[in-house]
Structures are given as structure tokens and as C-alpha cells.
């Protein structure tokens, strides 16, 4: 797929292509509420974006916990014990599978 002359890539832990809220229960990171945890399933974007997120610890299979999500503006998530702020547009490109508390 081409987008304004740049290639778009996806890094995924499964081969299925999913939407923002898919039938299998996965959703974008920006939809988690404070205290919820999710396992990263897929990251969509360009090489630079995926590389930058990878260096911050956003890797398919890793667990993230939502620290702050006010519905607009940036969100704060805990990845591997480190709190990281992401813009909402960035969070919308990260697909997670919610982890049930228990």
C-alpha cells in the first residue's frame, strides 16, 4: 500500500488484519481506560514509527497498562515499568487485546 509516496508497514503477532474494534476483542490502545491492561497485537505505520515504538518497548506480545486517558489529547501508558506519553494518533496505530483482571 502506498500513502503519499511513503510505504506503510505493519508489525503483527497474528496474520489477520483487524479494525479498530474487531470481532476477536482487540482494540486500539487509545480505547483502554485507566488501570486496564492489554497485550500488544499489532502496530501499523511507517518504518520510522515502528522502529521508534520498538525502542520504547512497544513490541507485539508485550503487556501495557493505561495510566492516564482523558478521552482527548495524549495518553500515558506503562510499558515494562516505564511510563510513556503518546499522542492519541500514535495510540490509534497500536492494537491491543484487553487482559481480563483476575
Q: Which CATH number does the domain housing residue 60 bear?
A: 2.30.30.90
The whole-chain average pLDDT of the chain stands at: 83
pTM reported for the whole predicted model: 0.77
- At 87, which helix (H) or strand (E)? none
pLDDT in tens, 83-97: 999 999 999 999 999
Task: State how many domains the chain has.
Answer: 1
Contact 45, 12 (CB under 8 A): no
Return d(Cα 56, Cα 76) in angstroms, integer: 13
- Half-sphere exposure at residue 100, Cβ-oriented, CA atoms within 13 angstroms: 2
Q: What is the pLDDT of residue 4?
A: 45
Low-confidence residues of the chain, pLDDT below 70? 1-23, 102
Residue 11 φ/ψ, nearest 5 degrees: -110, 125
Domain span including residue 42: 2-99
Amino acid at each position: 500500500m502506498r500513502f503519499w509516496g511513503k510505504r506503510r508497514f505493519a508489525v503483527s503477532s497474528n496474520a489477520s488484519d483487524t479494525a479498530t474494534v474487531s470481532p476477536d476483542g482487540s482494540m486500539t490502545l487509545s480505547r483502554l481506560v485507566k488501570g486496564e491492561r492489554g497485550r500488544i497485537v499489532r502496530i501499523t505505520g511507517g518504518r520510522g514509527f515502528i522502529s521508534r515504538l520498538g525502542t520504547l518497548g512497544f513490541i507485539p506480545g508485550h503487556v501495557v497498562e493505561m495510566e492516564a486517558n482523558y478521552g482527548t489529547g495524549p495518553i500515558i501508558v506503562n510499558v515494562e515499568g516505564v511510563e510513556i506519553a503518546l499522542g492519541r494518533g500514535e495510540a490509534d496505530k497500536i492494537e491491543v487485546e484487553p487482559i481480563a483482571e483476575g
